Structure 1
Amino acid sequence: MGKKAVYAEQELVVLLKNNNRTGFDYLYENYSAPLYGIVLKIVKSEDNAADVLQDTFLKIWKNIGTYQPEKGTLFTWILNVARNTAIDKLRGEVKLERMVKLQAVPEHELNSKLAFYPAAANFDIKQLVDNLLPERRTLIDLVYFQGYTHEEASEYLSLPLGTVKSRVRKALQDLRGVFALREMSLYAN
């Protein structure tokens, strides 16, 4: 039996950035099992987890040039690639489910009380968000307009996760209050 090669992280990164097949084989052999376990916890389906794992390694192959060792370990980077790929998979499924549900309701079955009032749609959401306190505005922008998770926003802004969640919750409460006032004024006329 031959002795299996063992690479230090720096050596492995060099191999990967040079698109070396041996480096990618080593990466897959040593990292696929823990990544699969994490992905499975997110997508909750073995078939989807296998697909996400394959997509993850494809993304790693294509984007290894963007990995910066000074920002974190290789494992942390590939873990984030796997996690984000799994979350993207879930978001795609949720969008598809919503589209199917919306298309499955015949028009004659719609409740007229659920009618859409265009006046409420004329709210300039961005303008309302711009009126929030700066620390709340920044978080709403990151989480709702740019798609960051609370954890990613926390890391990006170097704030504790609890602070991020509290500020987002307070900002949403502020926006609900503004919407309630504007709706009352629209329908009062």
Structure 2
Amino acid sequence: MAHKQIKYSDQELFLLIKNCQRNNFNYIYDSYSPLLYGLLVGAGLSKSYSCEILEQTFVNIWKNDTPICVSDKTFTNWIIKILLRSVREYLTSNDRKFKISFVKSGALSIEFLDV
């Protein structure tokens, strides 16, 4: 039997995060990890780096230490902001010099400056 995918508004997704319940977190992970992983691999990061950064991103989401700002506008913007912070933290901790940007298509671009 196929599971019916529940659709939440951005406001409801923010509330799911605020409630810090395991089921809510699992829903967020299942719904957004493919997008975030795709951005990382699409930016040219290795699968290993991508998996580690994705894990750290969801640890940061679970810790709920990134305030939700009106400027985030959507849940997707907010979660990508956390992903970018996780990329910076991970690459900096590995002594990598890099530049992060988005290209017109919306893809993430990570240019390594130390190669």
TM-score (norm 2): 0.70
User: Secondary structure of 2:94's match?
Assistant: helix
Runs of 4+ in 1 over 3 A off after TM superposition: none
Structure with bigger gyration radius: 1
Please give the root-mean-square deviation of Cα atoms over the aligned residues, in Å.
Answer: 2.3
- Matched to 2:71, the amino acid is K
> Contact between 2:17 and 2:62, CA under 8 Å: does it hold in 1?
yes
Q: Deviations over 1:114-151 (max 9, x none)?
A: xxxxxxxxxxxxxxxxxxxxxxxxxxxxxxxxxxx797
More strand as a share of residues = 2
> Contact between 2:66 and 2:82, CA under 8 Å: does it hold in 1?
no
Gaps of 5+ in 1: 96-148, 152-189
RCO higher in structure (CA 8 A, sep ≥6): 2
Count the aligned residue pairs. 97
Q: CA deviation at 1:35?
A: 0.5
Partner of 1:75: 76
- Taking the aligned partners of 1:15 and 1:93, their CA distance within structure 2 comes to 33
- Taking the aligned partners of 1:89 and 1:150, their CA distance within structure 2 comes to 13
More helix as a share of residues = 1
Q: Do the aligned partners of residues 61 and 35 (structure 1) sit closer, same or farther apart at CA in structure 2, a change above 3 Å counting?
A: same
Partner of 1:61: 62
Gaps of 5+ in 2: 102-115
- Taking the aligned partners of 1:53 and 1:62, their CA distance within structure 2 comes to 14
What percentage of residue pairs aligned between the two structures are identical?
31
- Taking the aligned partners of 2:14 and 2:79, their CA distance within structure 1 comes to 12
